[in-house]
Structure 1
């Protein structure tokens, strides 16, 4: 699980590069080849951990509706400085 925790830390840090108002998926926070190398079970766990983090801690990103393929979407509502 430590690998998934490292991936979670990486995903959280990548939020800084998302524009305010932008809608994204967790996989968008990784390069395509990086995402494809993560085992499917770890990607699922990462998605769950990321959603839990957003719901419990983040004031910067909110979860919005899921895609037609049941992937959770997120929207950045403010940057880290509160703008």
Structure 2
């Protein structure tokens, strides 16, 4: 149904709409009904790919702690952050 690379591109593009310092989960980057239509295995893969993107690229997003349900939380960096 969904191509993972398209979903990853959408998620990365959506981070541009976040405010500096804003904390979010990958699922927050999609409308609720869109996220719910993505199969669980694809959501897991999308989470892994998004985390890899954050670590590999010079992204304005950084990974922070995980939630109690083991979901990775992210924060959009401010312009003064490294």
Regarding TM over 0.5, the answer is yes
Deviation track 1:26-75 (CA, whole Å, cap 9, x = no partner) reads 00000000000000000000000000000000330100000000000000
Once residues 3 and 68 of structure 1 are traced to their aligned partners in structure 2, the CA distance between those partners, rounded to angstroms, is 29
Q: Which runs of 5+ in 2 are unaligned?
A: none
Name the counterpart of 2:54: 54
**What's 1:77 paired with?**
77
Tell me if 1:27 matches 2:27.
yes
Give every structure 1 segment of 4 or more consecutive aligned residues whose post-TM-superposition deviation is greater than 3 Å: none
Structure 1 Cα separation of the partners of residues 3 and 59 of structure 2: 25
TM-score (norm 1): 0.90
RMSD: 1.3
Q: Aligned residues, how many?
A: 79
CA distance in 1, matches of 2:77, 2:9: 20
Task: Please list every run of 5 or more consecutive structure 1 residues that lacks an aligned counterpart in the other structure.
Answer: none
